[in-house]
Amino acid sequence: MDLKGKIAVVTGGTRDIGKAISLKLAKEGAKVVVNYYNNEANAKKTLDEIRAISGEAIIVKGDMTQKADVDHLVSEAIKAFGGTIDILVNNAGGLVARKSIAEMDEAFFNKVIALNLNSTFLVSQAILPHMKSGASIINIASQAGRDGGGGGSLAYATSKGAVMTFTRGLAKEVGPKNIRVNALCPGMIATTFHDTFTTGDVRKKVAGATPLRREGTAEEIANTVACLASDETTFITGANIDINGGLAFS
């Protein structure tokens, strides 16, 4: 995919899937604005890796659930690379913790919703005025948004299901401007997310039940993001694309 001359913003872009996306977009020629939450060491390492492949990028710290931080991210992107943003990848998010409905309080539920859904809304709203015809927004949802997720992921699955609906609705709204909006719904991907929140036994069981008999990789997600960001997929919008090795079908 040729992304030369395009400006991309990637939220949560310095770890796991987000890092793979930042590197892939840079490799394909995009200038990348890489957002991170609080791990400056990871952010600087990502920036060094992009520069090592002759890519161009900046890193911007910020909490994407906070409008002031979102506005700062957009301001830094415009200052660094000009007035137009061509690609937005809403990757910031997370599960936080596995809790049943009986174990969670309202503050926890709202935190997960804000992390996954509100961040997607805030960043999309802030960046859309800087997008022109041909731009592409890619949201990172989850298979959990389709099937309710594993044990203790009620809040997470709810938020990702909402991201999927947000994707469809926004695609209809901005389609007449020739701006595309799609989402990816990853299944079991080999990342620190599952190192933290999923037991080894469960991961082996899921991999064994997957037709391709393995977990996916962050790079496979990044490859699909780059394709959706490119001019090779200009008639795809409003899609929630499964990437799960055939474990589940929409």
Cβ contacts of residue 134 below 8 Å, gap of 6+? 86, 178, 179, 231, 234
pLDDT reading at 192 higher than 80: no
In the Cβ-directed half-sphere of 89, how many Cα atoms lie within 13 Å? 36
Q: Residue 200: its pLDDT value, please? A: 86
Q: How many percent of the chain have pLDDT more than 90?
A: 86
Annotated catalytic residue: which of 37, 156, 166, 193?
A: 156
Q: Residue 211: its pLDDT value, please? A: 87
State how far the Cα of 49 lies from the Cα of 220, in Å rounded to an integer. Answer: 18
> CB neighbours (10 Å) of residue 190?
16
CATH architecture of 7-190+217-241: 3-Layer(aba) Sandwich (3.40)
36 is catalytic: no
Q: What pTM was estimated for this model as a whole?
A: 0.95
The two most distant CA atoms of the chain are separated, in Å, by 50
Token pair 């389609």 in the structure block, residue = 175
Work out the mean pLDDT of the chain and round it to a whole number.
96
Give pLDDT tens digits for 74-112.
999 999 999 999 999 999 999 999 999 999 999 999 999
Q: Residue 185: its pLDDT value, please? A: 98
State how far the Cα of 12 lies from the Cα of 15, in Å rounded to an integer. Answer: 7
pLDDT reading at 70 higher than 70: yes
pLDDT reading at 218 higher than 70: yes
- DSSP letter at 151? T
- Are the C-beta atoms of 35 and 20 separated by less than 8 Å? no
Q: Residue 201: its pLDDT value, please? A: 85
Give pLDDT tens digits for 44-69.
999 999 999 999 999 999 999 999 99
| Banded model confidence at residue 197, pLDDT cuts 50, 70, 90 | low
**Contacts of 211-214 spanning 24+ positions with Cβ under 8 A:** 211/245, 211/246, 211/247, 212/245, 212/246, 213/245, 214/245
Gyration radius of the chain over CA positions: 17
pLDDT reading at 204 higher than 70: yes
State how far the Cα of 61 lies from the Cα of 11, in Å rounded to an integer. Answer: 10
Q: Residue 194: its pLDDT value, please? A: 72
State how far the Cα of 7 lies from the Cα of 84, in Å rounded to an integer. Answer: 7
How many residues appear in the chain?
A: 250
